[in-house]
Structure 1
């Protein structure tokens, strides 16, 4: 129980670095970590039962990473830039593939919950899942086909230039 309280306290300290979260926490009189856990539990419940699941998955998978990417760009450190750039590469391929997978699996129970868990795994700082997925899956594929992809992109760019001129 003490470990749980300590984790909530650590989460609260991190969240209170965000002025809006700190203000809400003070107004409500509840630790920011508990508010975050409550919101996450509520969202989990909604996704589990498919209520607004697609919207929630997109908000979590796009808005939070977009804000954290902004923070990374503004920070002097480069490791967070790499983390978020890697996330967007993996997310782009995942999102493209999801357009096709979604037609097959949208009816599977907890499908959106699995999508949400995958996205959170990808950007969660403790797991750095996007970096792991990139290194294990996408990097080897991109390295093998890099020359062909570059050639195709150069050809497409040249054809576009011809059409414009």
Structure 2
């Protein structure tokens, strides 16, 4: 585990950081060395292809013993001043094969760019529609919440209906059927009953 981590760290430092700094110095020199600049351009082309193949090939070859060490040794071989493996790899393997299939590669890249552009436009349009719909729904939700807050809350009164007073109704019907004399006697009797014996007047007895 530690050995693998060290190998990956060395690959990043010696394969990317150091060559990037050397390329920077070559570009920023007052008298630009064309040969040196071409060398570093070829190096980055090889590294880019190696990185692409690694994304698919690491699954099949990463289990090999000393795989990280071999990759690190190959990277150092590419830029080491005494070996200059970049020039050999580019002139022997990369340049002849790419020159042979350059037209086909350009056609495939052109078709891929067109499809990628159409797909990007399609996703952007769908994203805009979804964002617009979501925004309108959010505004509608805020409007509903504001309307609900402004409306006065009506108290929920529970109206209990008392059963009809059948006794009073019967008494009223009975009183309607009575004569005026009996009705007055009945009213006096009710008044005496409500006042009680203490409230009754001596003349009423």
- Which TM-score tier does this pair reach, normalised by the shorter chain? 0.5 to 0.7
* Structure 2 residue aligned with 1:127: 83
Structure 1 Cα separation of the partners of residues 116 and 4 of structure 2: 43
Q: Does 1:53 align with 2:12?
A: no
Structure 1 residues 115-147: Cα deviation after superposition (integer angstroms, max 9, x where no partner): 111000001122110111111111111001111
Structure 1 residues 15-45: Cα deviation after superposition (integer angstroms, max 9, x where no partner): xxxxxxxxxxxxxxxxxxxxxxxxxxxxxxx
Distance 1:160 1:119, change over 3 A: same
Structure 1 Cα separation of the partners of residues 46 and 54 of structure 2: 12
The two structures have a TM-score, normalised by structure 2, of 0.52
Match of 1:149 among 89, 100, 105: 105
Q: RMSD over aligned Cα, in angstroms?
A: 2.4
5+ residue gaps, structure 1, are 1-46
Structure 1 Cα separation of the partners of residues 41 and 67 of structure 2: 26
* Structure 2 residue aligned with 1:107: 63
Measure how far apart 1:151 and its partner are.
Answer: 2.0
5+ residue gaps, structure 2, are 123-205
Query: Larger radius of gyration, structure 1 or 2?
Result: 2
* Structure 2 residue aligned with 1:70: 24
Structure 1 residues 64-100: Cα deviation after superposition (integer angstroms, max 9, x where no partner): 1111111111121111110100000111111211223
Structure 2 Cα separation of the partners of residues 53 and 161 of structure 1: 38
SS in 1 for 2:63: coil
Structure 2 Cα separation of the partners of residues 162 and 51 of structure 1: 41
Measure how far apart 1:104 and its partner are.
Answer: 2.3
Measure how far apart 1:160 and its partner are.
Answer: 4.9
Q: Does 1:84 align with 2:22?
A: no
Measure how far apart 1:154 and its partner are.
Answer: 2.8
**How many positions carry a matched residue from both structures?**
119
Measure how far apart 1:153 and its partner are.
Answer: 2.5
